[in-house]
Amino acid sequence: MLKEVIATRFIAPLREGGSLPGLVEADDFGTYVLKFSGAGQGRKTLVAEVVCGELARRLGLRVPRLVTIALDPDLGLGEPDEQVQGLLRSSGGTNLGMDFLSGALGFDPLAFRVSPEEAGRIVWFDALVNNVDRSWRNPNLLMWRGELWLVDHGATVIWHHNWPGAEASAGRPYDASDHALAPFTPDIAAAAAALAPRVTEELLADVTACVPDAWLAGEPGFDTPDDLRRAYARPLLARAAVIHERIRGIQ
Ligand X SMILES: Nc1ncnc2c1ncn2[C@@H]1O[C@H](COP(=O)(O)OP(=O)(O)OP(=O)(O)O)[C@@H](O)[C@H]1O
- Residues near ligand X, by CB under 6 A: 14, 16-19, 21, 33, 64, 98-101, 104, 106, 133, 138, 140, 142, 151-152, 154
Q: Which listed option, ligand X, Mg ion, none, makes contact with residue 154 (CB within 5 to 8 Å by class)?
A: ligand X
- Nearest-approach distance from CB 151 to ligand X, in angstroms: 4
Question: Of these, 140, 187, 188, 240, which contacts Mg ion (CB under 5 A)?
Answer: 140
The letter for the amino acid at 28 is D
Whichever of 32 and 159 has its CB closer to ligand X, that residue is 32
Kind of pairing between the strands at 66-71 and 3-13: parallel
CA–CA distances in Å: residue 9 to residues 51, 83, 102: 27, 17, 17
Taking the complex as a whole, the smallest distance from the CB of residue 220 to ligand X amounts, in Å, to 25
**Which of 13-21, 55-63, 71-79, 92-100 is the region at the interface with Mg ion (rule: CB under 5 A)?**
13-21
Sheet with strand 105-106: strands edge to edge: 105-106, 141-144, 147-150
- Compute the least distance from the CB of residue 244 to ligand X, in Å: 26
Do 170 and 159 meet the contact criterion of CB atoms below 8 Å apart?
Answer: yes
Closer residue to Mg ion, CB minimum distance, 140 or 156? 140
**Residue 104 C-beta: closest distance to ligand X, Å:** 5
Considering CB distances under 5 to 8 angstroms, the limit depending on partner class, which of Mg ion, ligand X, none binds residue 158?
none
Measured CA to CA, the distance from residue 231 to residue 167 in angstroms comes to: 10
Of all residues in the shown chain, the one whose CB is closest to ligand X is 17
Indicate whether 79 belongs to the interface with Mg ion (CB under 5 A). Answer: no
User: In the bound complex, what is the minimum distance in angstroms from residue 18's beta carbon to Mg ion?
Assistant: 7
The piece of 66-74, 133-141, 182-190, 195-203 that touches Mg ion (CB under 5 A) is 133-141
Q: Which does 173 bind (CB under 5 to 8 A by kind): ligand X, Mg ion, none?
A: none
Site for Mg ion, rule CB under 5 A: 17, 140, 152
